[in-house]
Amino acid sequence: MKNTDMVVVGGGAAGMAASIEAACAGAEVVLIDENERPGGQLFKQIHKFFGSEVHRAGIRGIHIGRDLLKEAEEAGVQVRLNTVVYGFFPDKCLGLMCNQHTEELQAKMIILATGASENVLAFPGWTLPGVMGAGAAQTLINIHRVLPGRSVLMVGAGNVGLIVSYQLLQAGAEVVAVVEGLPTISGYGVHASKIRRAGVPIFTGHTILRAEGKESVERVVIAAVDKSWQPLAGTEKAFEVDTVCLAVGLSPLAELAWMAGCQFIYIPEIGGWVPVHDENMETSVPGIYVAGDLAGIEEASTAMEEGRLAGLAAAEALGCLSSKDGRARKAEVWERLAALRIGSFGHGRALAMEKILRAKGVG
Amino acid sequence: MRIDDHPILGKAERGRSITLTVDGSPVEAFEGEPIAVALMASGHRVFRYTTKQKGPRGVFCALGRCTDCIMIVDGQANVRTCVTPARDGMVIEKQFGRGPREEKG
Amino acid sequence: MKVDDLIICRCEEVTEGEIKEAIRLGLTTMSEVKWLTRAGMGLCQGKTCGRLVMSILVRETNQPPDEVKPPTFRPPTRVMALGALANGEKETE
DSSP per residue over chain C, as a string?
A: --GGG-EEETTTTEEHHHHHHHHHTT--SHHHHHHHH-TT-STTTTTTTHHHHHHHHHHHH---GGG-PPPPP-S-SS---HHHHTT-S----
DSSP helix/strand/coil, A101: strand
pLDDT mean over A4-22: 97
Maximum alpha-carbon separation in chain A: 68
Which of C8, C13, C38, C89 to mutate to test binding with chain B, by most B CBs within 10 Å of its CB? Answer: C13
A162/A178 Cα distance (integer angstroms): 8
Answer whether residue A279 shows pLDDT above 50: yes
pLDDT in tens, B12-21: 888 899 999 9
**Which fold is adopted by the domain B17-96?**
Ubiquitin-like (UB roll) (3.10.20)
A120-246 has which CATH code?
Answer: 3.50.50.60
pLDDT in tens, A227-273: 888 999 999 999 999 999 999 999 999 999 999 999 999 999 999 99
Q: How far from chain centre, in Å, is Cα B26?
A: 13
Determine, yes or no, domain membership for C90.
no
Say if the Cβ atoms of B3 and A139 lie within 8 Å: no
Say if the Cβ atoms of B60 and C43 lie within 8 Å: no
Where in chain A do CATH 3.50.50.60 domains reside? 2-117+250-362, 120-246
Contacts of B9 in chain A (CB under 8 A): 46, 142, 145
Q: Is B41 on the interface with C (CB under 8 A)?
A: no
Chain B residue whose CA is closest to C13: B52
Bridge partners, residue A261, by sequence: none
Chain C residue whose CA is closest to A124: C6
Contacts of B6 in chain A (CB under 8 A): 145, 170-171
Say if the Cβ atoms of B66 and C48 lie within 8 Å: yes
* Confidence at residue A175, expressed as pLDDT on a 0 to 100 scale: 98
Query: Which of A353 and C51 is assigned the larger pLDDT?
Result: C51
Determine, yes or no, domain membership for C11.
yes
Report the CATH number that the domain containing residue C62 is assigned in CATH: 1.10.10.1100
Determine, yes or no, domain membership for C62.
yes
pLDDT in tens, A76-88: 999 999 999 999 9
Answer whether residue A122 shows pLDDT above 80: yes
A2-117+250-362 has which CATH code?
Answer: 3.50.50.60
pLDDT bracket for residue C91 (50, 70, 90):
very low
Residues 6+ apart with CB under 8 A from A261: A284, A285
C62 is in which domain, residue-wise? 3-85
Nearest to B61 among A133, A142, A150 (CB): A133
The count of domains in chain C is 1
The CA-atom distances, in angstroms, between A204 and each of A152, A226, A242 are: 17, 11, 22
Determine, yes or no, domain membership for C91.
no
Question: Percent of chain A beyond pLDDT 70?
Answer: 96
pLDDT bracket for residue A1 (50, 70, 90):
confident
Chain C residue whose CA is closest to B78: C43
Determine, yes or no, domain membership for C55.
yes
A325/A320 Cα distance (integer angstroms): 10
Nearest to A170 among B8, B45, B68 (CB): B8
Contacts of A122 in chain C (CB under 8 A): 6-8, 16, 52
Which of C3, C55, C73 to mutate to test binding with chain A, by most A CBs within 10 Å of its CB? Answer: C73
* Confidence at residue A85, expressed as pLDDT on a 0 to 100 scale: 95
Yes or no: say if A95 and A229 are a contact pair by the CB < 8 Å rule. Answer: no
Angle at A81 between CA A76 and CA A86, to 5 degrees: 115
* Confidence at residue C82, expressed as pLDDT on a 0 to 100 scale: 65
pLDDT mean over B23-44: 96
Q: How far is A132 from chain B (nearest CA, A)?
A: 4
Burial A254-275 (b: 16+ CB within 10 A, else e): bbbbbbbebebbebeebbbbbb
By CB neighbour count within 10 A (0-12 exposed, 13-18 middle, 19+ buried), where does C74 fall?
Answer: exposed
At B34, give phi and psi (nearest 5°).
-60, 140
- A139 secondary structure, DSSP code: I
Contacts of B51 in chain C (CB under 8 A): 13
Yes or no: say if A80 and C63 are a contact pair by the CB < 8 Å rule. Answer: no
- ipTM of the complex, rounded to two decimals: 0.94
